[in-house]
Amino acid sequence: METTFNRALPLAIGCDHAGFEYKEELKKVLTAQGWEVSDKGTYSTDSTDYPDYAHPLATMVEEGKAAAGILVCGSGNGVCMTANKHQGIRAALCWTPEIASLARQHNNANVICIPSRFVPFEVAQQMTDTFLTVPFEGGRHEKRVEKISC
């Protein structure tokens, strides 16, 4: 699969209990596509707190130790809000492949957030593939992206 992210770096992936099953399935798909995957947790369906996994993932992406991040929770909102507290992170809550595409094209998103309770796994996989292959358009969008960080 052609990608716009640096394949020399791993993809960081994380979730809470509601996203655990999707995370595990996405890891299989990504590994089969040749990605190294850095799993930031959680490691079961036991109830847990999403910031405990979103912060380490966001830090890894922020520090350039991961090409991009994939976060999964029930609504996608909690992990998205948490990741976006980090400077240099542009986490996008996506629910269709088209939204994932626009998040890359227009916003240069570097973390995708997936709502496991609201999208079928096949859509989550399509969004992830889209997120990893669609390039940032730059141009008129560049100055807008530069204004995001505080």
Catalytic site residues? 73, 106
Alpha-carbon distance of 29 to 2, in angstroms, equals 15
Alpha-carbon distance of 113 to 131, in angstroms, equals 10
Residue 91: strand, helix, or coil: strand
Alpha-carbon distance of 12 to 116, in angstroms, equals 17
Residue 71: strand, helix, or coil: strand
37 in Cβ contact with 72 (< 8 Å): no
